[in-house]
Amino acid sequence: MASLASDLRIPATVLPRAAIESPRMNHPEQLPAQKRESDVLRESPPQIALDRASAWDVDDAAESTPEVASVLGEYELAGGAGRCRRVGAGSGFSGASVWRVATGAGEFALRRSPAGQPPPPRRAWLHRFLRFVQARGLGFIAAPVNTRHGATFVERGGHSWELAPWLPGAADFHRDPSRERLAAAMTALARFHGAAASFPGASLAGTGDAKVWMPNRAGAKTPPTIAPSPGLADRIQLLERLMGGETDEMRQRVARSLASIGQGNVNEADKPGAAAVAMAPRAARLLELFDPVATAALERLRQHAATPVPLQPCLRDVWHNHVLFTGNKVSGLIDYDAIRIDSVAGDLARLLGSLLEDDWPSWEFALAAYSQIRPLSERETGLIDVFDLSSLAISGTQWVRWLYLDQLEFPAIQAVAERMDHWIRRSERFFARGAVTRGHAVRL
């Protein structure tokens, strides 16, 4: 992380310097340019003209060019066909690919998601929700535009496709941090939460990991739900499962990867993947830190699991690389697939932990800026710390799971290293300051 301005302090890392000097996220163009959030307001979705696009100039690998052109042919964009350039070939963590589309109506992002992610009914609901909040004056939200047939997505080639306005800006808070930019990010998030809370006719259906948003009867208005956070309950279950034996298998797999470093005589069937070998020292450190952090987090989670708080649609994956800036203004909040009902405390913990790590004075400044738009209750404020502490135990370990149990390979290996280093730094600082979260001592 670049050094911060004098009015925004982050404690120096306790890791060796070499452990944190991986290149930044090598997402295509302006870091994660696949999606965008902004404070450059667009009052409504762009208007679609009736002259059908005919001949798209697709700058892409040969195998996907016909498919991209075919999908774009489903849209009637003002000005007709234009240039389409691939900027994201599944290099992000979601596996999505993105094309930047230039037309006479402006620029758009064409996004191709893996099959069934999310399922079509949920995707349709999500698009209605995005249009609702965008229409409330949130120009930093990019709601998909309609096809010629009135749909908001296209199913083709075993993938789901959608076209949305291209949001400007870059996810560069760490390169240019300031309190003005921090206040802008918190204002944008507060405005999103305020608009999302008024979305009519939605309720949460399903149980466990199958939770999905489903609409109530048309036009129905649902009063705010006051209930325990489902996110805290999910985290308790996950930590109990991890502490019940899952991390033992992770340790065995990581040890095997560590042993294979520098050895050329490992059987091909037992040979770990390249990413698993490269990340093995980091994975070993995360697992070393896991047990004491998880024990502290689980205790706090159980203490607050029954705390009733307002529940509403939340982003749930709002972090540094999903907040775009143009100058000191937020120009985009991007990546909406994780939206679910929960407490706003989860979004606040996720965003502030990624922007500020453990700079508690700047956390307090940020929460004050947020509260000017959307006041926080004492209970909501208390849950922010609980979400943040549990993330220390869960998020780093999730990377170990993906690499060693699920055996996933990530093209952007430097991005994986950076995320793992982030959680190592924060966990080590947690112990260095005597197991204190933002204003609270934790009994180990």
Name 205's bridge partners: 212
Strand 212-215 with 202-205, pairing: antiparallel
pTM: 0.81
Shared domain for 431 and 320, answered yes or no, is yes
| Domain stops at, among 122, 145, 165 | 165
Shared domain for 128 and 232, answered yes or no, is no
Spatial CA neighbour of 171 closest among 25, 13, 22, 348 = 25
* Angstrom distance (rounded) from CA 103 to CA 55: 12
| Domain stops at, among 148, 165, 182 | 165
Residue 212 lies in a domain: no
Shared domain for 158 and 243, answered yes or no, is no
Residue 35 lies in a domain: no
Shared domain for 146 and 270, answered yes or no, is no
Block residue for tokens 């404690």: 11
What is the distance between the terminal CA atoms of the chain, rounded to a whole angstrom?
29
Shared domain for 238 and 158, answered yes or no, is no
Q: Please tell me the predicted confidence (pLDDT) of residue 215.
A: 41
Shared domain for 349 and 251, answered yes or no, is yes
Shared domain for 353 and 421, answered yes or no, is yes
Residue 9 lies in a domain: no
Half-sphere exposure of 293 (CA within 13 A, CB side): 29
Q: Which phi and psi (to 5°) does residue 100 adopt?
A: -95, 120
Block residue for tokens 């947690």: 430
Q: Please tell me the predicted confidence (pLDDT) of residue 68.
A: 87
pLDDT tens for 132-152 read: 999 999 999 999 999 999 999
Report residue 158 as tokens: 């075993």
Shared domain for 119 and 239, answered yes or no, is no
Extended strands (E) in 18-168: 37-38, 57-59, 83-89, 97-103, 106-113, 154-156, 159-165
Tell me, what CATH number does 365's domain have? 3.90.1200
Residue 71 lies in a domain: yes
Shared domain for 280 and 146, answered yes or no, is no
* Angstrom distance (rounded) from CA 174 to CA 44: 31
Q: What is the mean pLDDT of each run of 10 residues along the chain (444 residues)?
A: 40 30 29 30 27 48 69 81 72 72 88 82 89 96 95 88 95 98 98 94 40 41 76 97 94 91 52 83 96 95 97 96 98 94 97 96 97 97 97 96 90 90 95 66 45
Shared domain for 299 and 422, answered yes or no, is yes
Q: Please tell me the predicted confidence (pLDDT) of residue 216.
A: 39
Tell me, what CATH number does 49's domain have? 3.30.200.20
Residue 288 lies in a domain: yes
Shared domain for 257 and 398, answered yes or no, is yes
Range of the domain at 344: 225-441
Q: Please tell me the predicted confidence (pLDDT) of residue 48.
A: 28
CA distances from 182 to 24, 172, 354, 360, 443 (A): 20, 12, 12, 13, 31
* Angstrom distance (rounded) from CA 340 to CA 248: 31
Half-sphere exposure of 199 (CA within 13 A, CB side): 29
* Angstrom distance (rounded) from CA 259 to CA 266: 9
- Domains held by the chain: number: 2
pLDDT tens for 103-126 read: 887 899 999 988 777 887 888 889
Shared domain for 252 and 346, answered yes or no, is yes
- What does the DSSP 8-state code read for residue 320? G
| Domain stops at, among 129, 145, 165 | 165
Residue 24 lies in a domain: no
Residue 157 lies in a domain: yes
Residue 326 lies in a domain: yes
